[in-house]
Chain A
Amino acid sequence: MVLAAGTGTDVVRAILQGTPPGAVYALVALGFVLTYKTSGVFNLAFGAQAFVSAAMFFQARVEWGWSTVPALVLAVFVLAPLTGLLMERLIFRHLRTASAVSKLVVAIGLSVALPSLFETLTGFAGVAGRTPEGLVPDGATVFYDPLGVYPFSRDELVALGVAVVGMLGLGALFRFSSIGLAMRAVVESPRMTELAGIDADRVSSVAWMLSSFFAGMAGVLIAPRFNTLMAPDFFHLVVVAVAAAAIGRLVSLPRALIGGLGLGIFIALFRTFLPRWSADHPWLEPFQNNLTPSMPFVVLFGVLVLWPAIRRSPAAADPLSGVDPPPPSLVSATRSAVLTRAARVFGVCFLLLVGLTVWFRGDVVWVHLVTQATIMSLILLSVTVITGLAGQISLCQGTFAAIGALTVFQLADRWDVSVLAAALVGAVIAAVVGALLSIPVLRLGGIWLAIATLAFAFFFDAVMLKFSWVGGGDSALLQGHRVPRPVLGPWDLADDRRFLVLVVVVFALVSVFVIRIREGTTGLILRGLRGSEVAAESVGVSPARARMLAFAISAAIAGLGGGLLAIHQENVNYGNNFTPMAALFWVVLVVTLSARTVEGAAQAGAAFSLFNSVILRGDGIGWITRGHLPGFFPLSPKWRFVLFGLASIQFARHPEGLVEHGKRRATAGMDARLAARRERAEPGAASSTAQQDPPSPDPSKVAAVGKQP
């Protein structure tokens, strides 16, 4: 492509125009790298921390009328480090030796909980059009244009300066100071660091306070870019900045800075020249239409998939990690046969009770909610397969579910295909997409796979959905994604109760299928791969094929669930159900409760769908008390997010999952009571029984084990 006359000026202008957003990305990317280097946490809560400080600054400066300095001290020098200290003490200290994926799960939980907790405590609420103030007077209105090409505001110059100074300062800290070295050492191996006489806890606390301080500073500097101060904007910024951090492989500060600035400039150049070129060359138009909004995600995915250095940069591994015990077996595999039978009977009775209650007493709301919970449980079984069984973190399960749902819509809308048949077709298409996706990400593991799948989800959201053969185009514009209910033989499933029966049957079948996978050869292969990919390969297992299989099965389940959800709601409701952020929280829920069991998925589905009504709105208590609700109900929806964060804190202490932890405790207690009873009835019998049944592990010891997602 030959550049036209004047192109040189245009290039310079585009570079300058891309610098302010690039500086923002660089600031966040630096924060990411700082946190990862000093804590080993891929901190998706960075945006939440930045928001809290920005909101505190705004509150003090605008609402309370404080001057800049005290507001800055409160928001950045006090609140931010304090937040970091609490996060370290309460949560991440317990996860120091946990996998990067476990830490990611907790960070996602915190990204939700922190802003809600702050807003609940302070009453802060973003108001449209109330643009936050920057650090310097008239920061948004006074401009400098030294080159006469494009002016920078004071706020932007300050942000750019802080990014550069931050990079230099942090680089010096890590390179020349003992505390910097200690921080990196603690991340790599706290045990070895302590053997060298360094207080790992203290170093870790300092590291978190430092990274939180940086988050706070970044938040205050970034805030003036947003005309309404809302936490989701900061989260979105973080997702984009991940691309810049990935360029630095999460460890290089200079590369993160260059990556951030480069991303901003690249996007500006792209937006300057591609529209001109596509005007002359129509074949470029689809690229312009589709790449512009998704550029950060395309860059991120490309970096991860095409840059070999990423694949060769495994997460920091503790050389002493061998002292950690392997993940404990499932409780269901270790408890006594008597308890297993009792648990199954109890489970069946409980489900029957719930089912009969809903069938005979439930109104349209409860039938709807229970149906939704069942379908969500089905979708979350896909997380059980990919994460619980295969040990891979996929953050694009919502995309697979959306593929199923949109397939149902398209087939029903265009060709009047039965929606049930369409749901099956949707599952197959999702499986194919899942299998194809597994190919480029084949060599990625742990945190990198999570990021790549997240980038894919955002790419689908920003690009694929716009194609009429995916999102519906004009048809959807006029009518939405309306989906009819099916008729199955003599049964018209427009009746909600009948549809619930169908959904329960499908869930049961898929559950049995998942259990069979877990207990069968495929499960053994996946377990082997989780343990050691090299070892598995040495005995003839193909990791590529196994991973592709896991992705395909998982995607198929999600696709089937997505199709059923669309049929249930009689609408795809993509924005309500399947956005990338929704899928993030599906994963967190399942992993927090229990990633390896069907019960975990079922309870996560129930929590996802019923928590709001049963707990927050008090319907559960109201039903029990016949409508006599305490005055504080309904609780603010913000408590949902705060409690979600608290659950992730509990997960930090019980990485096997809260459900599994509870089962283990209950089983141990039951075993002890049964043994004591036998001992009383027949002295000596308990010890002989104990020899027949595998003993239940000591819950306290099990709780300390943290090497699984």
Chain B
Amino acid sequence: MVRARKHLHGVVVLLALAAGACGNSGDGGAVLTTTTAPPESTTTAPPESTTTAPPESTTTAPPESTTTAPPESTTTAPPETTTTTAPPESTTTTAPPETTTTTLPDPRHEFVSLDGVPGVTDEEIRFAVIGLRSNNPLGTCVLDCYLDGINSYFEYRNAEGGLFGRDLVIHEELDDELLQNQVRALEVIAGEDSFAAFSATLVATGWGDLDEAAIPTFVWNIHAAESANRFNIFGHIPAMCAECTQRHVPYLAKLAGATKVASLGYGISENSKVCAQSVSDSIDRYSAEIGAEMAYFNDDLDFGLPNGIAPEVTAMMGAGVDFISTCMDLNGMKSMAQEMKRQGMDAVLYHPNSYNHPFVAEAGDLFEGDYVAPQFEPFEADSGNELAAAFEAQMATGGRDLSELAMIGWINAHTAFEALLGAGPEFDRASVIADMNSRTAWDAGGLIAPIDWTRQHVPTTPDDQSNGPRLECAASLRMTGGAMETVADPATPWICWDNVDQEWSEPQQMSFGG
């Protein structure tokens, strides 16, 4: 009955989305030397703490990197391989490691009959996927693209024989129609025939119920408030600190040669406002180091810019702004770029939510020279990451288009797979959750910046950053000619900072694959 109620509600959702992506990408939780680990073993290999860390790495690693190495990580090492890491040839942390691999008996195919584990039969491990298909106010592909990624991953693994003698299958596809997320979550709970759940939606009202039911839930985490302090929910990024300063946007301003920076947000959303304030604080904090200063701040824009953004663009021009960071959705970004073009304003934009290739292509040269930062290793990277290559190959095999949500689905599916693998052939929901929650450097095979799931369910705050990531990382891209290219070397697409004290330093180019 409430199509139009979705409207304003959609507004709030959009804003959450816009703000959710802003500042997220810095989350990570691994020691620097994680970059030398190969994709699969990254999550499970013993940290370089003692024997495998290259000498150069230890110079760049946070001091606590060796002391915080999780002893339990050895217990989660993949049984099929043992990995040793040779020191890289260069002094940077970007060189892929030389590894030697010894193949062991593969327990992935060890079958143990399980009784009483929901969603698990002798043939299948079943999953539910809850996402947004109908009534999407953004006009973007969410559930279907997300399913592309999960299906591709499951096909990829099933072609290898599945897991523990079973196929991985999507048992339920549930369209939450924007506002029915909680009901769909309850349906999964009541059905008791899905082992775990995936969720990609704009309104995550059901995550709390899935968490309370102790169902392992793997999500597109643009909802910090709904995922925070919920220990059964695993996002492609952890719960974030929206208010903390970060170095990523100041670095892009420096890279663009900017001297005057603007930060913009929507007034209707607290998330967007906080995001805009965080950027402003970050520029202020690192102003001396980047040679730029805040010149314009506005966190009161109308959502959707129904009145245009002409006065604000004029004001920014008057202030001499040459770099604009926003906490806005992609449609708002396009409106602003169009207005800038109309008024002849020449400034570089930072887009938090525009990693959408058809959207960027459609815009032509409108975004020329602008920056965007997805929250995973971008498709434009060339790091040699095997899982990224498998993703692209499997998507092509299935005739599916690459998309942001497909990659998120792939990452979520890989997280579920690895947690199952770590739990062993006699798995259940609790053991799968426990396995992932024991991982201190989960990087999804090198596709994301590492997450310490022993800590990072609890969001950090400006006053207490003890749960923050050990590395602040972003995989920035520059838009050019309707396409995108990595800011860093495609082989090491991540730009990272040691996050011990958030002081400025020159970033390291890294990759987490091998």
A: residues with CB less than 8 A from B are 13-14, 17-18, 20-21, 111-112, 115-116, 125-131, 140, 143, 150-151, 153, 225-233, 235-237, 240, 264, 267-268, 271-272, 275, 288-289, 292-293, 363-365, 368-369, 461-462, 466, 471, 473-474, 476-480, 482, 569-571, 573-576, 579-582, 584-585, 588-589, 607-608, 611-613, 636-638, 640-641, 644
Give residues of chain B (237-276) contacting chain A, Cβ–Cβ below 8 Å.
Answer: 242-243, 266-268, 270-271, 273-274
Q: Is the CB of B229 within 8 A of A479?
A: yes
Chain B 290-334: CB-based contact to A (< 8 A → 1; otherwise 0): 000000001011111011101110110000000000000011001
Q: Is the CB of B7 within 8 A of A232?
A: yes
Complex: A76 Cα to B468 Cα, angstroms: 56
B358 interface hit (Cβ, 8 Å): yes
Q: A17-B311, A129-B330, A585-B5 are in contact. Are A292 and B225 (CB under 8 A)?
A: no
Q: A271-B312, A570-B208, A637-B177 are in contact. Are A363 and B331 (CB under 8 A)?
A: no
Instruction: Tell me which residues across on chain A come within 8 A of B243, comparing CB atoms.
Output: 474, 477
Instruction: Tell me which residues across on chain A come within 8 A of B270, comparing CB atoms.
Output: 466, 471, 473, 476-477
Chain B 101-132: CB-based contact to A (< 8 A → 1; otherwise 0): 00000000000000000000000000000000
Q: Is the CB of B359 within 8 A of A582?
A: no
Show 11 residue pairs from A and B whose CB-CB distance is below 8 angstroms, ordered by the A residue.
Answer: A129-B139, A236-B7, A236-B304, A292-B300, A368-B182, A476-B270, A480-B225, A575-B13, A579-B8, A588-B1, A641-B3
When A and B form their complex, which 4 residue pairs have the shortest distance between CB atoms, in order from nearest?
A: A232-B7, A480-B225, A129-B359, A17-B310
Instruction: Tell me which residues across on chain A come within 8 A of B4, comparing CB atoms.
Output: 111-112, 231-232, 235, 581, 584-585
Q: Is the CB of A20 within 8 A of B308?
A: yes
Give residues of chain B (133-188) contacting chain A, Cβ–Cβ below 8 Å.
Answer: 134-135, 137-140, 175, 177, 179-180, 182-183, 186-187
Q: Is the CB of A240 within 8 A of B138?
A: no
Instruction: Tell me which residues across on chain B come within 8 A of A570, comparing CB atoms.
Output: 208
* Option from B8, B242, B330, B342 in Cβ contact (under 8 Å) with A128: B330
Contacts A292-B302, A365-B186, A612-B180 known; list 18 others, CB within 8 Å: A17-B311, A127-B358, A128-B330, A129-B363, A275-B298, A364-B189, A474-B274, A476-B225, A478-B459, A575-B9, A575-B13, A576-B179, A580-B8, A581-B7, A585-B4, A608-B1, A638-B134, A641-B1
B360 CB to closest chain A CB (Å) equals: 8
Q: Is the CB of B358 within 8 A of A293?
A: no
* Option from A126, A150, A363 in Cβ contact (under 8 Å) with B139: A126
User: Which among A150, A581, A607 has the highest number of chain B CB atoms within 10 Å?
Assistant: A581
Instruction: Tell me which residues across on chain B come within 8 A of A574, comparing CB atoms.
Output: 12
Kindly report which residue of chain A lies nearest to residue B274, judged by CB atoms: A477
B370 CB to closest chain A CB (Å) equals: 14
Complex: A588 Cα to B4 Cα, angstroms: 12
Instruction: Tell me which residues across on chain A come within 8 A of B5, comparing CB atoms.
Output: 579, 581-582, 584-585
B228 interface hit (Cβ, 8 Å): yes
Instruction: Tell me which residues across on chain A come within 8 A of B226, comparing CB atoms.
Output: 480
Complex: A292 Cα to B6 Cα, angstroms: 23
B82 interface hit (Cβ, 8 Å): no
User: Which among A226, A466, A476, A576 has the highest number of chain B CB atoms within 10 Å?
Assistant: A576
A374 CB to closest chain B CB (Å) equals: 15
B479 interface hit (Cβ, 8 Å): no
A17 CB to closest chain B CB (Å) equals: 4
Q: A129-B330, A129-B359, A289-B267 are in contact. Are A478 and B225 (CB under 8 A)?
A: yes
Q: Is the CB of B7 within 8 A of A235?
A: yes
B288 interface hit (Cβ, 8 Å): no
Q: A21-B307, A581-B7 are in contact. Are A477 and B225 (CB under 8 A)?
A: yes
Instruction: Tell me which residues across on chain B come within 8 A of A131, comparing CB atoms.
Output: 334, 362
Kindly report which residue of chain A lies nearest to residue B242, judged by CB atoms: A477
Give residues of chain B (486-508) contacting chain A, Cβ–Cβ below 8 Å.
Answer: none
Complex: A151 Cα to B342 Cα, angstroms: 7
Instruction: Tell me which residues across on chain A come within 8 A of B205, comparing CB atoms.
Output: 569, 571, 573, 576
